Amino acid sequence: QTIAEALEERRISQVVMQYQSWGANSSDKNIPTSLKPSADLGGKNGFSTMTNRLNELGISLFCDVNLTEMNKNRWGYHTKWDSSKALQRSPTTLFSFHLGTYENDSTQPTCFLLQPNKVLRAARDTAASFKKLRATGLSADTLGQQLYSDFSKSKVDRTETQTLWQQSLQLLAQAGDGMLLSAP
> How many other C-beta atoms can be found within 10 angstroms of the C-beta atom of residue 50?
21
| Overall average pLDDT of the 149-178 stretch | 94
Q: Please determine, for residue 20, whether its predicted confidence score (pLDDT) is greater than 80.
A: yes
Beta strands in 6-59 (DSSP E): 16-19
Between 34 and 151, the higher pLDDT residue = 151
- What is the tens place of the pLDDT at every residue in 106-150? 888 888 999 999 999 999 999 998 877 889 999 998 899 999 999
State the pLDDT at residue 173: 95
The maximal CA–CA distance of the chain, rounded, in angstroms, is 57
Contact 70, 110 (CB under 8 A): no
Classify 41 as helix, strand or coil.
Answer: helix
Residue 75: per-residue pLDDT? 67
Mean pLDDT for the chain overall: 88
Q: Which of 89, 59, 95 is nearest to 150 (CA)?
A: 89
- Using 50, 70 and 90 to split pLDDT, how confident is the model at 24? confident
| pLDDT tier at 27, thresholds 50, 70, 90 | low
Q: In angstroms, rounded to a whole number, what is the distance separating the alpha carbons of residues 98 and 130?
A: 34
In this predicted structure, the answer to whether residue 25 has a pLDDT above a threshold of 70 is no
What does the pLDDT read at residue 39?
Answer: 86
Is 151's pLDDT higher than 80?
Answer: yes
pLDDT of residue 28: 63
What is residue 109's DSSP assignment? P
Say how many CA atoms lie within 13 Å of 49 toward its Cβ.
7
